[in-house]
Amino acid sequence: MTITITAFERSPDGGKGLARDTRVRWALEEVRQPYEVRLVSFRAMKEPAHLALHPFGQIPTYEEGDLALFETGSIVLHIAERHAGLLPDDANARARAITWMFAAVNTVEPPILELATATLLESDKPWYAARLPLVEDRVRDRLNQLSARLGDADWLDGAFTAGDLMMVSVLLRLRSSGILDEFPNLAAYVTRGEARPAYKRAFAAQLAVNTGKPPTGQ
Amino acid sequence: MTITITAFERSPDGGKGLARDTRVRWALEEVRQPYEVRLVSFRAMKEPAHLALHPFGQIPTYEEGDLALFETGSIVLHIAERHAGLLPDDANARARAITWMFAAVNTVEPPILELATATLLESDKPWYAARLPLVEDRVRDRLNQLSARLGDADWLDGAFTAGDLMMVSVLLRLRSSGILDEFPNLAAYVTRGEARPAYKRAFAAQLAVNTGKPPTGQ
């Protein structure tokens, strides 16, 4: 059955790979599943046809036969459960990999989202400059803990899993802030993720949408 | 094998059920699995023994034989996958229920966390009063969308699932703000969750820890 995902017709980041369809593209590339992409404009995202697929009016969505999903974490988990390459075979290691997926989206991403929100929506407010260091320090608190756990390992728990895919994707949003570089082992971890051939193919595919040029071969 | 979870020795909410162990207790009660609780002080949560279990120094954790997990969403999913009662049998309906779990923690909870953070950590700041309405409106945006999707249904997608358990738990954190009551169908949805016998048992158990009195029979 054909897999169809949705992505921004024009990504707010201009193709830096921060839109969440990149996470789903990456997962599909890791497990070598072909997929089609339906591009959605900002206006169409808030219209009934898209809201029926995604009640919060966002991208990506995932359609496969009569199954329709939203939420990147859920889509990546669905892909990882059905195709080899993103979850360990051992049941306990598999549960721990899923734990890292939830840690990425529910523990590490919220302060990073708060930092993004401050910059995107409150940079014209009188409190912006005074408040920013507080928000940045809340991100640092989480990164300190994550850095201590990762240590000098390549990935969070043994081989690369969907947990690493989600964590690297979440940390990538921090690069422009400079905070990631304060934690050399986390910066190297993100670079390691970006160096994976599957990530490179996913990144090139989303960039091609935004430049209008076909992806170069990887 | 015995299931052991961790919880606050003394919850910051004094037993209102907002600490995240309540979510895990609720899941275990829905599937009728007995469990033991190890209470952890704020100081012990930041010490190496607990950090080995939970790298972010929080509760709850979940131990069963040689498996150790953290992250509430992951623990609830693990319980739901192994015991009947929290996920549908149909594969597509199951994937959609997991989608609602991720929607709860990664789409609905982040603005609610931001509101909690503003109130807990920034109420003494000069910008607090001017900024609060912006943060509240971001919560309302999400609740508007969730309310539209729920409509007059009892649960988010057919029968009660782990997705509802997580969503009700996330929305409960809003009650004291008054915002939940602006959305009558969501307020009724939360009340419906709280009326479940399994929730009542979970709530009574966490309250007993905080009052020092044994839970009353349900």
Say which residue the tokens 């954790």 belong to.
Answer: B61
Nearest CA in chain A to B96: A69
| Chain A CA closest to residue B125 | A131
| Among chain B residues, CA nearest to A147 | B55
* Residue-wise pLDDT tens digits, A166-176: 999 999 999 88
User: A212: pLDDT confidence band, cut at 50, 70 and 90?
Assistant: confident
Contact yes or no for B55 and A138 at CB 8 A: no
CB contact under 8 A, B125 and A131: yes
Containing H/E element for A43?
helix A42-45
Q: Copy the structure tokens of residue A82.
A: 């059905």
Specify the CATH superfamily of domain B3-85+198-211. Answer: Glutaredoxin (3.40.30.10)
Q: In this complex, which of A96, A122, A131 lies closest to B69 when CB atoms are compared?
A: A96
* B57 in contact with A, Cβ within 8 Å: yes
Q: Kindly report, residue by residue over B141-156, the tens digit of the pLDDT.
A: 999 999 999 999 999 9
| B95 Cβ under 8 Å from any chain A Cβ | yes
Is the CB of residue B117 less than 8 Å away from at least one CB of chain A? yes
> pTM of the entire structure?
0.96
Sorting pLDDT into bands at 50, 70 and 90, what band is A216? low
Per-residue pLDDT, averaged over A1-24, amounts to 94
CB nearest to B105's CB, from A67, A75, A106: A106
A56/B130 touch (CB, cutoff 8 Å), yes or no: no
Per residue, the 3-state secondary structure of chain B, as one string, reads CCEEEEEECCCCCCCCCCCCHHHHHHHHHHCCCCCEEEEECHHHHCCHHHHHHCCCCCCCEEEECCEEEECHHHHHHHHHHHCCCCCCCCHHHHHHHHHHHHHHHHHHHHHHHHHHHHHHHCCCCCCHHHHHHHHHHHHHHHHHHHHHHHCCCCCCCCCCCHHHHHHHHHHHCCHHHCCHHHCHHHHHHHHHHHCCHHHHHHHHHHHHHHHCCCCCCC
Length of chain B: 218
Q: What is the pLDDT of residue B215?
A: 76
Pick the residue from chain A with its C-alpha nearest to B53: A149
| Chain B closest-CA separation from residue A117 CA (Å) | 10
> What is the distance, to the nearest Å, from the Cα of residue A23 to the centroid of all Cα atoms in its chain?
4
Q: Which residues of B touch A138 (CB under 8 A)?
A: 117
Say what the pLDDT of residue A218 is: 46
Domains of chain A, residue spans:
3-85+198-211, 91-196
- Segment B123-127 mean pLDDT: 96
pLDDT tens digit string along A51-106?
999 999 999 999 999 999 999 999 999 999 999 999 999 999 999 999 999 999 99
Size of interface A-B (CB pairs under 8 A): 127
pLDDT of residue A214 exceeding 80, the answer is no
Confidence check: pLDDT of B76 > 50: yes
Distance CA A102, CA B74 (A): 6
Which two structure tokens, joined as six digits, stand for A152? 């000098």
Query: Which of A67, A70, A106 should we substitute to test contact with B (largest number of B Cβ atoms within 10 Å)?
Result: A106
Give the C-alpha separation, A137 to A147, whole Å.
Answer: 15
The architecture (CATH level 2) of A91-196 comes to: Up-down Bundle (1.20)
Chain B within 8 Å of A102 (Cβ-Cβ)? Answer: yes
Rg over alpha carbons for chain A, rounded to the nearest Å, is: 17
Please report the pLDDT score of residue B218 as a whole number: 46
